[in-house]
Chain A
Amino acid sequence: AQSVSQHNHHVILSEAASLELGCNYSYGGTVNLFWYVQYPGQHLQLLLKYFSGDPLVKGIKGFEAEFIKSKFSFNLRKPSVQWSDTAEYFCAAGATSSNTGKLIFGQGTTLQVKP
Chain B
Amino acid sequence: KAGVTQTPRYLIKTRGQQVTLSCSPISGHRSVSWYQQTPGQGLQFLFEYFSETQRNKGNFPGRFSGRQFSNSRSEMNVSTLELGDSALYLCASSLNGQTYEQYFGPGTRLTVT
Contacts and interface: CB of A to CB of B under 8 A. Distances in A.
Interface string B61-93: 000000000000000000000000000001010
Contacts, number: 68
A68 interface: no
B7 interface: no
A70 interface: no
B88 to A, nearest CB: 10
Contacts of A96: 99
Interface residues of B, number: 27
A44 B33 contact: no
Interface residues of A, number: 25
B105 A100 contact: no
Interface in B11-46: 31-33, 35, 42-45
A107 to B, nearest CB: 5
Nearest to B45: A102
Contacts of B33: 101-103
B90 A101 contact: no
A18 to B, nearest CB: 26
Interface string A29-65: 0001010100000111110010000000000000000
Given A90-B43, A106-B42, A108-B42, A101 B106 contact: no
B113 interface: no
Given A105-B43, A108-B42, A49 B107 contact: no
Given A43-B107, A46-B103, A49-B101, A101 B48 contact: yes
A101 B99 contact: yes
6 contacts: A43-B104, A43-B106, A100-B48, A101-B50, A102-B99, A106-B42
Interface of B: 31-33, 35, 42-45, 48, 50, 55-56, 58, 90, 92, 94, 96-99, 101-107
* Leading 8 A-B pairs by shortest Cβ distance: A101-B97, A94-B99, A100-B56, A101-B48, A105-B43, A44-B104, A43-B106, A101-B33
